């Protein structure tokens, strides 16, 4: 689909789990997209994708890049995820909290029209009703969750105070054929990736662990659709989005049913299990559905069918690279 307006878009954290899939979709829609990250251009990026080195903890670097590119929209993905954030809380604070503040300041100073932010189920703490609605007390237990709550609140402030059109989705755990990095929901993609790569995977959680999950193409579509929605249709800035909420055992069963030779076992890691137990098991996304027509396409088994060929290709790539 070619949009009526071709937007100039900057994606931060573009080398992470979400970035390249999102960029592919935005470019497919005809937008001019620039990728940025602290890391060099990843091998999987299109060779003609403009790529910029950007450390979001450095306001001068943001200022220079926004001055150079003059993006109309920013998708701000740069962050340390929950598990890595617990091993380096100070770095997580710098990248996630100060980094988001720096990006918002950049939006204000350079007149960036729209900022899309990736929030998370990790903004929630224990003891909430299920499914969790959008508006509840946000009392996360991880540094990652705390910085994402702060990002949501800062974004709403910059919207009210400076007119930055800030919009966010709260992502469930995302599953795709990309090596995940530092998330507590990583056991889910790793069941597919390690299952196919080595024939077995020992998950770091209990089999009865249940958190909201989503197949990456649904997550990417959610971000792109929220970005394109007329502002007057939005009753809030931050939306829960949901797809399915399987137990870890159900994900393992879905993999092992499709690949009977794969064995998935469980050896819970107390630190990561505590994080998983602090998250809700299901999200209420009725406001996203009502306001901007959100609806997921994939359930667990549909995801498994779509994902396995993609993971096979990834495993071949990893084997060739090593």
Kindly list the catalytic residues: 144
Closer residue to ligand SER (CB): 154 or 211: 211
57 forms part of the interface with ligand SER (CB under 6 A): no
Pattern 19-48, ligand SER, x by CB under 6 A:
------------------------------
Q: Which of 36, 102, 147, 184 binds ligand SER (CB under 6 A)?
A: 184
Q: Which of 9, 61, 107, 122 binds ligand SER (CB under 6 A)?
A: 122
d(C-alpha 279, C-alpha 151), whole Å? 18
Binding residues among 80-99 for ligand SER as defined by CB under 6 A: 81-82
Q: DSSP class of residue 167?
A: E
Binding residues among 198-237 for ligand SER as defined by CB under 6 A: none
282 forms part of the interface with ligand SER (CB under 6 A): no
- Sole window of 114-122, 130-138, 193-201, 247-255 interacting with ligand SER (rule: CB under 6 A): 114-122
151 forms part of the interface with ligand SER (CB under 6 A): no
Residue 40, Cβ density class (10 Å: 0-12 exposed, 13-18 middle, ≥19 buried)? exposed
- What are residue 34's DSSP bridge partners? 10
List strands edge to edge, sheet with 165-171: 51-53, 32-37, 8-12, 73-76, 114-120, 165-171, 238-240
106 forms part of the interface with ligand SER (CB under 6 A): no
240 forms part of the interface with ligand SER (CB under 6 A): no
What tokens does 46 get? 């299109």
- Sole window of 90-98, 182-190, 191-199, 306-314 interacting with ligand SER (rule: CB under 6 A): 182-190
Residue 144 C-beta: closest distance to ligand SER, Å? 6
141 forms part of the interface with ligand SER (CB under 6 A): no
What's the N-to-C CA distance of the chain in angstroms? 38
Give the Å distances, CA to CA, from 94 to 57, 81, 104, 170, 260.
6, 13, 14, 21, 44
Residue 65 C-beta: closest distance to ligand SER, Å? 26
Q: How many residues bind ligand SER (CB under 6 A)?
A: 11
Dihedral-angle region of residue 13 (phi above 0 means left; psi in -120 to 50 means alpha; beta otherwise): left
120 forms part of the interface with ligand SER (CB under 6 A): yes
Closer residue to ligand SER (CB): 71 or 85: 85
- Sole window of 8-16, 38-46, 61-69, 115-123 interacting with ligand SER (rule: CB under 6 A): 115-123
Kindly give, in sequence order, each residue whose CB lies less than 8 Å from that of residue 43, ignoring residues fewer than 6 positions away: 321
Closer residue to ligand SER (CB): 164 or 288: 288
Residues 188 and 213 sit within 8 Å (Cβ to Cβ): yes
Give the Å distances, CA to CA, from 162 to 87, 105, 111, 182, 219.
35, 10, 9, 34, 28
CA atoms within 13 A on the CB side of 62: 26
CA atoms within 13 A on the CB side of 87: 9
- Sole window of 87-95, 120-128, 193-201, 291-299 interacting with ligand SER (rule: CB under 6 A): 120-128
- What are residue 35's DSSP bridge partners? 11, 51
Closest chain position to ligand SER (CB): 183
Closer residue to ligand SER (CB): 18 or 33: 18
> Where do contacts with ligand SER occur on this chain (CB under 6 A)?
81-82, 120-122, 144, 171, 173, 183-185
């Amino acid at each position: 689909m070619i949009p009526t307006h071709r937007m100039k878009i900057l994606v931060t954290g573009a080398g992470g789990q979400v970035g390249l899939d999102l960029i592919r979709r935005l470019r497919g829609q005809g937008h001019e997209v620039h990728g940025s990250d602290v890391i060099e251009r990843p091998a999987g990026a299109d060779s003609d994708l403009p790529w910029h080195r950007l450390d979001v903890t450095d306001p001068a670097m943001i200022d220079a890049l926004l001055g150079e590119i003059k993006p109309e929209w920013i998708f701000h993905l740069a962050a340390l995820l929950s598990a890595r954030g617990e091993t380096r809380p100070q770095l997580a604070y710098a990248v996630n909290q100060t980094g988001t503040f720096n990006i918002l300041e950049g939006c204000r100073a350079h007149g960036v029209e729209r900022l899309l932010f990736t929030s998370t189920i990790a903004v929630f703490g224990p003891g909430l009703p299920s499914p969790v609605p959008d508006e509840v007390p946000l009392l996360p237990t991880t540094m990652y969750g705390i910085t994402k709550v702060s990002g949501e609140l800062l974004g709403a402030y910059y919207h009210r105070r400076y007119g930055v059109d800030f919009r966010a989705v709260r992502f469930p755990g995302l599953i795709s054929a990309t090596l995940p990095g530092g998330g507590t929901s990583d056991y889910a993609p790793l069941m597919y990736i390690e299952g196919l790569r080595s024939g077995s995977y020992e998950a770091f959680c209990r089999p009865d662990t249940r958190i909201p999950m989503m197949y990456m193409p649904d997550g990417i579509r959610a971000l792109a659709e929220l970005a394109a929605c007329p502002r007057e249709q939005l009753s809030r800035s931050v939306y829960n989005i949901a797809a399915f909420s399987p137990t870890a055992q159900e994900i393992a069963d879905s993999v092992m049913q499709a690949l009977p030779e794969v064995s998935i076992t469980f050896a819970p890691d107390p630190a990561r299990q505590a994080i998983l137990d602090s998250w809700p098991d299901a999200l209420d996304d009725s406001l996203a559905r009502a306001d901007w027509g959100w609806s997921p396409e994939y359930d667990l088994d549909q995801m498994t069918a779509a994902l396995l060929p993609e993971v096979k290709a990834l495993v071949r790539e990893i084997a060739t690279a090593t």
